[in-house]
Chain A
Amino acid sequence: MLRRFDIRRAKPKEQSAQLDESYYLASQWQLIWRKFRRHRLAMFSALAIILLYSIALFPEFYSINDHHQRHVKYAKAPPHTIYFIDEAGNFHLRPFIYDMTQKLDMETLKRNYSEDRTKRYPIRFFVEGLPYRLLGLIDTNIHLIGVDEPGVFFPFGTDELGRDLFSRTMHAAQISLSIGFLGMVTSFVLGCLIGGVSGYFGGSVDLVVQRVIEFLVSIPHIPLIMALSAAFPPEWSSTEVYFGITVVLAVVSWPPLARAVRGKLLELREADFVMAARISNMGDMEIIIKHLLPSFASFLIVVLSLAVPGMILAETALSFLQIGIRPPAVSWGVLLQDAQNIRSLSQSPWLLIPGLFVIVTVLAFNFLGDGLRDAADPYKQ
């Protein structure tokens, strides 16, 4: 058991002897990037996050149908199965789907869907469809995927009103992901401000701030967030509710951030390299810019990337309980409302798919944060 650890510990020395000159000349950020690139899971997570945020930026491009449109003929339709091999056993490089037909069971009033194997719709990429405005600026009608008219394509099935779950999930990404990001930025500003003040002044200010933080941390988050967002007036528009929730999330989650900022500030203030800089007659401003900020920035990036998933989870939970984002605005939590009871879940389990997006996002941010932490740690090879 122990032998293995010894070998691992001895490794860095051998490695550093082999490192070429460029390693010693690289700047701090270059070193971080080098180490980060080696962390495959974190690299992969970074790509996943970029993809997810591109969905949040261009939901219309990724979606197939209008996310509010009700396809009455296809209410509660299961996801289309994508095929490569047709009835006759021929292989098609271009994937395709079969037409879906609905039959109402007159006894149970349950809708049964079956595939019509005679009608085949190939899936096309970069197809022309519904016109929309990219980023609110450029008029276009290109969508990533689609099928020819009159076929319809529901990769994630439809909800009770026959709305395309795939397109709704794409649009929901916009609110779910941006709330995580905005909330993180707001609580970051609050945390830095309060933590900075606390660490800088010290003494009685520090004591009071620390007590307040301790108090806020000891209140259970979710009930507190619930109580605050239940206070939004019912006549608020979706946008107002959206910003309200962002503020509530930020107000509730700044304390741990402020504590981390203060701790790191105190630690850095006493660090040897700061002392050395001071002795060699470096100005305060120069010390802050050249020494404190770089060591602080890498730390902050890590803390922030680990703060986003908590926000996304909280928003999802709030909207799920119907005290968060209100329809017709959609977030992943709003979409999951449809899957609230066992009856609808047993009839249409695909309604849980938006939850998968939540899981993937949270996982990706966690892995990214881990990778960044390892990369930003100068003592770790």
Chain B
Amino acid sequence: MRSYIFQRLIYMFFVFWLVSVVTFVIIQLPPGDYLSTYISRLEQAGEELSEEEALNLRRQYGLDQPLFARYLKWIGQVLQGEFGFSFDWQKPIRDIIGERLALTFTIAILSTIFTFAVAIPIGIYSATHQYSIGDYVVSIIGFIGLAIPNFMLALIMLYIAWKNFGLNLTGLFSPEYLDAPWNMAKVGDLLLHLPIPIIVNGTAGTAGLIRVMRGTLLDELNKQYVITARSKGVAEVKLLFKYPVRVALNPIVSGLAWLFPSLISAGTITAWVLGLPTAGPMLVRSLITQDTFLSATLLMFVTILTVIGTTVSDILLVVVDPRIRMERAAS
């Protein structure tokens, strides 16, 4: 068990290194770099830049060196906690991404909790009431949740909130609380704004999980041990929760490994529509303005945190399921 966790952690650090290489290469792909955009912008503004000055700027940012050397320089700084300077925001990257990444993951984790809290009871209900009206209603809603693009759901919910309640729920705070110090009213305001991103992010995952939960539980309910237990007179509720539900939870826990990356993915677009101060909109903007270091850092952190989430869920699965523990120990 301990050696498995150790192996998993080693592998995780190897993946971190791969992530850093891949993100760096991706970020180098765009033709031209931020500096050329920056220089042309200066020229448009009427500032003349001599050939020499441009060259100096390039050297200052290390853009004249080969790719490999730039990677080494970059990763060296990253390991010291220096992510470089954002051209676009005119601020050190370290200062601007912390809060956004924290918010991104808070929302992702809350969405995960929401997904589980909704999907598991509904899955149990529709498996035990197969082919009832409730089962059909849940299935239809689930399918629509799967098919509707997240950003569209966000738009529709915004529209409904605005039309029926006169609320503008974009962002995480109302304008009057944006710079206000933390107090009860501000927390209340945040609680008013949080449900939409959480529901919107969670919907697609919820729909998928309900189907998985329903399917596996139905399979379990048909097994001999359930019949045996019932024939021995075990009460229905106890019968249901003692074994079949526990077994059916397994694929759900292992599903956490893919649920988390997809929540982060989906969150990027929803956050753009909802105007949330998370990493997603910042990434989109940095990609459009070719703010190389910022987009590299964001992409890297989002991926690294996702990999941590995946690793945690893998370890969780081993803790939950003794069968996997045995299998891993044997191999």
Contact = CB atoms under 8 A, between A and B. Distances in A.
Nearest to B18: A215
Interface in A174-230: 215, 217-224, 226-228, 230
A342 B261 contact: no
A220 B306 contact: yes
A25 interface: no
Interface in B93-152: 128, 130, 143-144, 146-152
A334 interface: no
Overall SS of chain B's interface: helix
Contact of B151 (A2, A227, A309, A317): A317
B41 interface: no
A323 B284 contact: yes
Given A222-B269, A228-B26, A230-B30, A336 B152 contact: yes
B287 A363 contact: no
A359 B310 CA distance: 29
Nearest to A364: B147
Given A321-B272, A336-B152, A219 B288 contact: no
Q: Nearest 8 A-B pairs (CB), nearest first? A: A230-B287, A231-B29, A222-B265, A362-B147, A363-B147, A220-B264, A220-B265, A355-B152
**What band does the interface of chain B fall in when counting residues whose beta carbon is under 8 Å from A?**
35 or more
Given A223-B299, A228-B29, A230-B287, A352 B152 contact: yes
Interface in B261-282: 261-262, 264-266, 268-269, 272-273, 280
Contact of B287 (A226, A349, A367): A226
B230 interface: yes
B27 interface: yes
A59 B236 CA distance: 57
A218 B269 contact: no
Interface stretch (B42-50, B55-63, B84-92, B157-165): B157-165
Contact of A320 (B29, B151, B230): B151
B221 A223 contact: no
Contacts of A366: 143, 146-147
Interface in B215-270: 221-222, 226-227, 230, 236, 258, 261-262, 264-266, 268-269
B156 interface: yes
18 contacts: A223-B280, A224-B26, A226-B287, A231-B26, A320-B149, A320-B269, A321-B284, A323-B287, A340-B155, A340-B273, A342-B155, A342-B158, A342-B168, A342-B170, A345-B158, A358-B152, A363-B144, A363-B146
